[in-house]
Structure 1
Amino acid sequence: MKIKLNRIDEDFLFECTNSNGNKILLDNTSKPDSKGVSPMESVLMAVAGCSGIDIVSILKKQRQEIKSFSAEVEGDRIQIGDAKPFKNIMVRFYLTGVVDIKKAFKAADLSFEKYCSVSKTLEPNVKVDWEVFVNGEKA
């Protein structure tokens, strides 16, 4: 896996490109006119995306009919010297459709316990918790 990063303005805007040519913009979001996400926001996005792919994949294999799927992720940070790494991350998944709530819970559990490489990478230092809601009901 290889990512290329290029500075594309006179300040802090970076374009990151993967080997398939897909791109995201990273920026210093403390600026009022930022045009990308912060690197720390991208970590939260990666947790949601990684586990989201797992959950949808598992539920599709079980022939669950997902009408909508979304997630909200919050990260609590701590000060360690000059850095502010995450201490805790909370991911909440929201599904609608003809989805068995127990299967949705199990799919999320499998993602975080076994499959999600992003949360596994963070795991030694960051506590990642999660919740699943199906058609408004907490699993």
Structure 2
Amino acid sequence: MSNHQNPTHSIELTREATNRYVARNAAGVEVTFGRGEDLMSPVELLLAAIAGCSSIDVDTVTSRSSEPTEFKVEASGNKIAEENGGSHLEDLNLSFNLSFPDDEGGRKAAGLVDRLVKLSHDKYCTVSRTVEHGTPVAFETEISVGREEDGNKDTE
């Protein structure tokens, strides 16, 4: 079995205010999130990423046969407190609620959904497969004191 590597995916996160952040991809697309009434939390973004990844897998194929009349996916999980004070999610679940027109294309699309959801889970959804595989996360830090607005930093 070979491990084929594709290009690296990355985002840049910047702080707008306390508990308010913007994630920006290389194309300049932005998502604002954080902690507050008008923001999605990082945990909610993780759930959205899992739901979005599988939704793309299902929608890409079914929409070739028929446009859905309803396409809703609920992602949920239980936050578990750990003895060491940390936490994690368990019992992650995606619930697909899709409807298609009652015509030949709609029936064809509806007949594909269960298989596509399984393929997404087992093979295609990078996000859920990464979570299930338990991929390690590395952390690096670079800290400066007295950093100038133009990006210059003090060095020792």
User: TM-score, length-normalised on structure 1?
Assistant: 0.78
For residues 2-21 of structure 1, the aligned pairs below 5 Å read: 2-9=10-17, 11-21=18-28
5+ unaligned residues in a row in structure 2: which ranges? 1-8, 101-105, 135-156
SS across alignment from 1:8? strand
SS across alignment from 2:28? coil
% same residue: 27
Partner of 1:67: 69
Partner of 1:121: 130
- Alignment partner of 1:109 out of 94, 99, 118: 118
CA offset at residue 124 of structure 1?
3.2
Match status 1:23 vs 2:30: yes
- Take 2:67 and 2:20, find their aligned partners in 1: how far apart are those partners? 40
Query: Given the superposition, is the C-alpha separation of residues 99 and 56 from structure 1 closer, same or farther in structure 2, using an over 3 Å criterion?
Result: farther
For residues 69-88 of structure 1, the aligned pairs below 5 Å read: 69-80=71-82, 81-88=84-91
CA offset at residue 67 of structure 1?
2.1
5+ unaligned residues in a row in structure 1: which ranges? 126-139
User: TM-score, length-normalised on structure 2?
Assistant: 0.70
Which is greater in Rg? Answer: 2
Query: Given the superposition, is the C-alpha separation of residues 105 and 15 from structure 1 closer, same or farther in structure 2, using an over 3 Å criterion?
Result: same
> Relative to total residues, which structure has the larger strand share, 1 or 2?
1
Match status 1:48 vs 2:57: no
Q: Greater RCO between the two (CA within 8 Å, min separation 6)?
A: 1
